[in-house]
Amino acid sequence: EDLKAFVEREMKRLDETEIESSSSDGLNNEEKKGGGEPATKSKLYLLKGLNTDSGNFATPASFEGIDKFRDVRDDESLFRSISESRVFKSSAEIDIMRYTNWVSSMAHVEVMRAAKPGMMEYQLESLFQHHTYTHGGCRHMSYTCICACGPSANILHYGHAGRPNSRLLEEGMIALLDMGAEYKCYASDITCSFPISGSFTDDQKSIFEAVLAAQIKVMAMLKPGVTWLDMHREAEREILKGLIGCGVLDGGGKDLDEVIETMLDADLGAIFMPHGLGHFIGIDTHDVGGYSPGKPARSERPGERKLRTARQLDEGMVVTVEPGIYFIDPLLDAAMSDERQKHFLTERVNDFRGFGGVRLEDDVRITSDGCENLTLCPRAIEEVLDVMSGGSWPPATDVLPEMKR
Which pLDDT value is given to residue 1?
A: 65
Which tops the pLDDT comparison, 286 or 32? Answer: 286
Query: What mean pLDDT is reported for the chain?
Result: 92
> What are φ and ψ of residue 122, in 5° steps?
-65, -20
**What radius of gyration, in Å, describes the C-alpha atoms of the chain?**
24
> What are φ and ψ of residue 192, in 5° steps?
-120, 145
> What are φ and ψ of residue 27, in 5° steps?
-60, -30
Separation CA 106–CA 219 (nearest Å): 21
* pLDDT confidence band for 376 (50 / 70 / 90): very high
- Local structure of 296: helix, strand or coil: coil
Handedness of CA 290, 291, 295, 299 (dihedral sign): positive
* pLDDT confidence band for 174 (50 / 70 / 90): very high
Are 107 and 99 spatial neighbours (Cβ–Cβ below 8 Å)? no
* pLDDT confidence band for 279 (50 / 70 / 90): very high
Work out the percent of the chain whose per-residue pLDDT is above 90.
80
Which tops the pLDDT comparison, 31 or 128? Answer: 128
Which tops the pLDDT comparison, 292 or 124? Answer: 124
> CA end-to-end span of the chain, whole Å?
20
pLDDT of residue 171 exceeding 50, the answer is yes
Q: Could you please report the per-residue DSSP string of 221-241?
A: H-STT-BHHHHHHHHHHHHHH
Which CATH code fits 91-403?
Answer: 3.90.230.10
* pLDDT confidence band for 40 (50 / 70 / 90): low
Beta-carbon neighbour count of residue 117 at 10 Å?
14
The whole model's pTM is what?
0.90
Interhelix angle 121-136/3-15, nearest 10 degrees: 70
The amino acid occupying position 216 is I
Which pLDDT value is given to residue 397?
A: 93
Q: Which of 65-74, 172-181, 243-252 shows the lowest per-residue confidence on average (mean pLDDT)?
A: 65-74
* pLDDT confidence band for 252 (50 / 70 / 90): confident
Which tops the pLDDT comparison, 261 or 55? Answer: 261
* pLDDT confidence band for 55 (50 / 70 / 90): confident
Which pLDDT value is given to residue 9?
A: 81
Which pLDDT value is given to residue 106?
A: 99
Which tops the pLDDT comparison, 43 or 336? Answer: 336
pLDDT of residue 377 exceeding 80, the answer is yes
Work out the percent of the chain whose per-residue pLDDT is above 70.
94
Which pLDDT value is given to residue 41?
A: 73
Which pLDDT value is given to residue 65?
A: 87
* pLDDT confidence band for 356 (50 / 70 / 90): very high
Extents of the domains making up the chain: 27-87, 91-403
Which pLDDT value is given to residue 334?
A: 98
Separation CA 87–CA 366 (nearest Å): 11
pLDDT of residue 23 exceeding 70, the answer is no
